[in-house]
Amino acid sequence: MAAMQFRQAIVNALADEMRTDPTVMLFGEDVAEAEGPFKTSEGLLAEFGPVRVRDTPISEMGFTGAAVGAAILGAKPVVEIMFIEFLGVALDQVVTEAAKMRYLSNGKLSVPMVVRASCGSGLGFGSQHSQTLENWFTATPGLKLIMLSDAQAAYSLTRAAIQDPDPVVILEPRILYAKRGEVDKNLKIEIGKARVMREGSEITIVSSGQMVDVCKSAIEESGVNAELIDLATIIPWDRQTVLKSVKKTGRLVVVEEAPLSGGWGSEIVATVASSLFGELKAAPFRITSPDIPVPYSGPLETRYIPTKEDVARQLKEVIATGKTPKTWWEMEGLK
């Protein structure tokens, strides 16, 4: 075990994979000489050289597409997208090319590429640099999608993604980069397996990314004996762990950073409602951001993201009343 920052856990995962497998390469904007805008490739150019660690032009469609081709032909490329929004101009390569290649080759080829992107709100980057956008990918069979929540997940899942034979998108909540956590380098986390972060009996909380920490604080503040699950892999998600937990607790809340409409949490709520309807003590529900762009102003952005206070309120309310709590914006008459 070693304590390290979340970003250092990513550096360690990349370095350990590059040491193990000479076909692993990293490219993206300012990842080589500058060692990454968020210092997630510190020391990699020095250790692995300019053939394997490359700066690219500001050209996401070009270099993401190059990763698709390189992956098919024997390399294991990891591309870094500085802000997940920048993948918008390269979605074709991820969704329509990479995710279809195995299918369209009748199983003859695979695309072992990883797309890493920083995401999320909380740092005042404004509405075009603060989204999580994981829901861009959830309806794309052929693609795997991970959202990291702490240093251990960053290390273990980044390594798992590089070793995976299929295309994987990893979202790295930007607000976590400097956060320290314990990392056991021998601990493996499988893609597709959720992490039970805290056991509890009264309600199951399913969350991911930076919301996992918010949920931990909310559990403490509320005094509710909740079971907290970090979904970790959003597609394909771990039905077994979630259903087993809700079977035990009889209640479910999904806490997401993304706006209300179209979120992956709806899929989980729908699955739980369909599978465990007769065993539920309360209607499964979601806590999300409102359906508005991420605002810039500090006080506004702080309210925009689900807060520990609001999650705690809703936890207490559902346990006490069995009814689905209102959103804070409904209570304040804002929508």
Partner 1 sequence: MSLQLERRKAVQTDEVAGYERMLEIREFENQINGLFAAGLIRGTTHLCLGQEALDIALAAELRPTDTVMATYRGHGVALALGLTPESVLGEIMGKTIGCCGGVGGSMHLADMTLGLLPTSAIVGGGIPIAAGAGLAYQLLGQDNVGVAVFGDGATNIGAFHEGLNLAAIWNLPVIFVCDNNVYGEYSRIDKTTPLEDLHVRAESYKMAHYAVDGMDVLATRKGIKEAVDRARSGGGPTLIEAKTYRFAGHSRADKALYRPEGELEKWMERDPIKLTEENLTKRGLLDSAKIEKMRADMVKTIEGVVATCQAAPDPTVASMFENVFTK
Query: Residues interacting with partner 1, by CB under 8 A?
Result: 23, 25, 51-52, 54, 56-57, 59, 61-75, 77, 89, 92-93, 96-97, 100-110, 141-142, 144, 164-166
For the CB of residue 293, give the shortest distance to partner 1 in the complex, in Å: 25
Point out which residues pair with 235 in neighbouring strands: 145
Task: Please say which residue, 47 or 92, places its beta carbon nearer to partner 1.
Answer: 92
Q: Which is nearer to partner 1, 101 or 114 (CB)?
A: 101
Dist. CA 304–CA 22, nearest whole Å: 44
- CB of residue 81 vs partner 1: minimum separation in angstroms? 14
In the complex, minimum distance from the CB of residue 65 to partner 1, in angstroms, rounded to a whole number: 2
Distance in Å, CB of 22 to partner 1, minimum: 9
Q: Exactly one of 17, 29, 42, 60 is catalytic; name it.
A: 60
SS3 35: coil
107 vs 111: CA distance, rounded Å? 11
| Contact by Cβ (8 Å): 111, 102 | yes
**Which is catalytic among the residues 129, 134, 227, 257?**
129
Distance CA 122, CA 143 (A): 27
Assess contact for 148 and 209: CB atoms under 8 A.
yes
Which one, 59 or 297, has the nearer CB to partner 1?
59
Distance between CA 163 and CA 259 in Å, rounded? 32
Q: How far is the CB of 183 from partner 1 (least distance, A)?
A: 25
Of the pair 24, 224, the CB lying nearest partner 1 is at 24
What is the Cα–Cα distance from 13 to 29, expressed in whole angstroms?
Answer: 19
The 10 Å CB-count burial string (b at 16+, else e) for 31-58 is bbeebbbbbbbbebbeebeeebbbebee
Q: d(Cα 252, Cα 285) in Å, to the nearest integer?
A: 7
- Considering the complex, state which of residue 238 and residue 257 has its C-beta at the smaller distance from partner 1: 238
| Residue 129 falls in the annotated catalytic set | yes
Residue 169 near residue 143 (C-beta atoms within 8 A): yes
**Residue 303 CB neighbours (<10 A):** 17
Is 42:204 a contact under the CB 8 Å cutoff? Answer: no
3-state helix, strand, coil in the chain (%, to 5): 40, 20, 40
Q: Which is nearer to partner 1, 57 or 333 (CB)?
A: 57
The verdict on whether 220 is a catalytic residue reads no
CB 59 to partner 1: min, Å = 4
The residues assigned a catalytic role are 60, 129
